[in-house]
Amino acid sequence: MAAYALGLRVDQHGWTTDRIIAAACTLIAACYALGYTWAALSRGRWLKRLERCNLVTAFVILGVLVALFTPIADPARLSVASQLAQLQSGKVTIDKFDFAYLRFQGARYGKHALEALKAQTQGADGDLVRRRIDQVLAMKHPWEGSPTLAPTVAELTANIAVYPEGRVLPAGFMERNWSVEPEHWSLPRCLTNRGVKCEAYLLDLKGDGNEEVAMFDTNPAWNGSVFAAGPLGSWQRIGTLARHTLCADIRTALRRGDFSIAAAEWQDVIVSGVRLHINTLENPASVKCP
């Protein structure tokens, strides 16, 4: 059953280092299972057959270890070759291919594969591949999540509804590649994924005459983010919106412009020139929609 389940997964998604290790463990377990079954079903000196099984399996284990720790069956080498075959055969499309796996799990084989892909791929697909590889190389840690193919300015324009109606988002905001930002996985998904809808609101939240951008996903609605332009015009996320943006009535009122800007309920504490802001506790299950 383990071998069958592993075979199905490999057929779907190719070999990875974990699946190669699982295959090695399954092979060793099968040696014991078959050998002990052979001993149990025999008559006479069945313990002698257990001895033979243990001895043969011990040599199998040594052989498997030698193979895994040499280029013969190096999990990194085999998994990189398998994943590249998935891409080259068209079984996996560029926008679904996990380039981050090659970098963080493929060891030197993965790094060489990324360099080769970046240099060899031509045409429109070549541009997409190079963009994806650049995004992956900008990642610092594998747990950041594999970045998706960033949407173009035209795609962002089509997928983001801007309020007040008739307004557009600043060019600097739209042209920024948000998919390579730290913690890009927590941004509104329309900024890092194609085909995801968002709503954006131009608001002067500081009362200084400069508008910030408040944005959240619409399907499904989730926590929003607030973005502001820095001194040099570079946009960055400065905070998040409350979970009440999950409420349908709240979103409807926002679209109508039925809201006001109010001063913070709790004032900040300034200590040695450092501003300490009070973030009130909020339980997602306790959010009450009007």
User: Is residue 246 pLDDT above 90, yes or no?
Assistant: no
What local confidence, expressed as pLDDT, does residue 220 receive? 67
Among 92, 121, 144, the domain-final residue is: 144
Look at residue 30 and tell me whether its pLDDT is greater than 90: yes
Tokens of 196: 């995801």
- Expressed as residue numbers, the domain containing 184 is 153-286
pLDDT tens-digit series, residues 156-170: 999 999 999 999 999
Are 242 and 174 within one domain?
yes
Task: Give residue 281's pLDDT.
Answer: 67
Statement to judge: residues 29 and 79 lie in one domain: no
The pLDDT assigned to 147 comes to: 55
What are the angstrom distances between the C-alpha of 171 and each of 123, 161, 174, 175, 176?
Answer: 27, 15, 5, 6, 9
| Mean pLDDT along residues 42-65 | 92
The answer to whether residues 269 and 198 belong to one domain is yes
* 98 against 62, higher pLDDT: 62
Cα torsion angle, 8, 9, 13, 15, sign: negative
Q: How many domains does the chain have?
A: 3
Which run of H or of E encompasses 226? strand 225-229
Whole-number pLDDT of residue 124: 63
Mean pLDDT of all residues in 44-48: 85
Average per-residue pLDDT for the chain: 86
Looking at the fold, whether 158 and 259 belong to one and the same domain comes out as yes
61 lies in the same domain as 185: no
Place of tokens 């020139």: 273
Q: Residue 245's pLDDT is what?
A: 67
CA distance 160 to 73: 48
pLDDT at 143 over 90: no
Q: Which of 144, 164, 187 is the last residue of a domain?
A: 144
- Looking at residue 278, its pLDDT comes to 80
Same domain assignment for residues 233 and 204:
yes
- Quick one: 140 and 252 in the same domain? no
**Same domain assignment for residues 117 and 134:** yes
Q: State mean pLDDT over 251-255.
A: 85
Last residue of a domain, one of 127, 144, 161: 144
Say which range, 26-35, 115-124, 167-176, 232-241, has the weakest mean pLDDT.
115-124
Give 2 or 241, the one with higher predicted confidence.
2
Q: Which residues pair with 214 in a beta bridge?
A: 201, 226
Match 């998935």 to its residue by tokens: 86
36 and 102 share one domain: no
> In this predicted structure, what is the pLDDT of residue 285?
56
Task: Note whether 214 and 262 are same-domain residues.
Answer: yes
